[in-house]
Amino acid sequence: MARAHIEVHGLREARRALRKAGDDIGREMLREANRATGEAVLPYARYNVNSKTGATAASGRASSSLTAVIIRFGGARAPGAGPTHYGTPKGRTRPPRNIKGNPWATDAIAERARHIRRIYAREAQKILDRI
C-alpha cells in the first residue's frame, strides 16, 4: 500500500520539549496545526475522486493527533474507496476486479506540499512566539 507522507524535521523534539515544559496549550496548538493541514488537503482530494454518485468524495474526513494527520475515505456508504484509490490486482476473480488505481488522496498531498509547509511554518512560529 503506497502512502504519501511529509516529514517535519524536529517535530519529535518539539513535542518532547512541550511535554517537559508542561505546556498543554502548545501541544494543543500543535494538534491544531495538524488538523489545519488535513483540512487544507481534503478539498483537493475530494475534487479528484472518481465516483459516479459522489458518495466516496462525501465520505472523506481528516483526523489529527500530536504525531500525524490521517485522511480517510470510504466506509459503509462508500465501500469502493480503497479499490478505486489503489486499484485491484490483475487476475482477481471476485468483485471488485479490473480496476485501475486512481490515487487521488496521495496526489492531493503532493499537490499541496508547499501549502502544508507554509501551514506548519506559520503554526510553529505561533508556538515559538508563545514560549
Residue whose C-alpha cell reads 492531493 in the numeric block: 108
pLDDT for 130 = 73
Res. 58 pLDDT band, cuts 50 70 90: very high
pLDDT exceeds cutoff 90 at 22: no
Report how far apart, in Å, the C-alpha atoms of 97 and of each of 74, 80, 84, 102 are.
Answer: 17, 11, 10, 14
pLDDT for 39 = 92
Q: What does the pLDDT look like over 59-104, one tens digit per residue?
A: 999 998 888 888 999 999 888 888 888 888 888 888 888 888 889 8
pTM: 0.75
